[in-house]
Amino acid sequence: MDVEELEGIARLTLERARFDDGPVDAFDLAHELGVTVEWTTGAVAVRFGRRAYVPAQTRQRRVHGRLAHEIGHVLLDDYGVTQSERAASYLGAALMADRKSTRLNSSHAN
């Protein structure tokens, strides 16, 4: 897994979907990327093609992260990157990150 490659995919995806620096609503992003989201009675989130299944019992605080992870799998396919849970997790988190708050302000640099 190349972190720079995954960060590049996240930036390009957000730009193409016309999202600013975040934070991003995973359901809005799924819609813009043509990923259909369905609720399931299953225990784990899964993805088949461009369809993501999210367990209905997922706690509200976690549902965006679980969906973002599945969107990560979709994007790995889209960009021809080898599938792995670690890469999908990283990419999902990179998509959801509030990039404005992660930039270093020069007044805070040592």
Q: List, for residues 20-70, the tens digit of each pLDDT value.
A: 766 789 999 999 999 999 999 988 999 999 999 999 999 988 999 999 999
Query: Helices (DSSP H) in the chain: which residue ranges?
Result: 3-16, 26-33, 60-78, 85-96, 99-102
Q: Residue 99: what pLDDT?
A: 65
Q: How far is it, in rounded angstroms, from Cα 58 to Cα 66?
A: 9
User: Counting Cβ atoms within 10 Å, is residue 18 exposed (0-12), middle (13-18) or buried (19+)?
Assistant: exposed
Q: What DSSP state is assigned to residue 53?
A: E
Order of strands, sheet of 51-55, starting from the edge strand that comes earlier in the sequence: 36-40, 51-55, 46-48
| 85 CB neighbour count, 10 Å cutoff | 10
Strand-pair category, 46-48 with 36-40: unpaired
pTM comes to 0.86
Omega prior to 55 cis, within 30 of 0: no
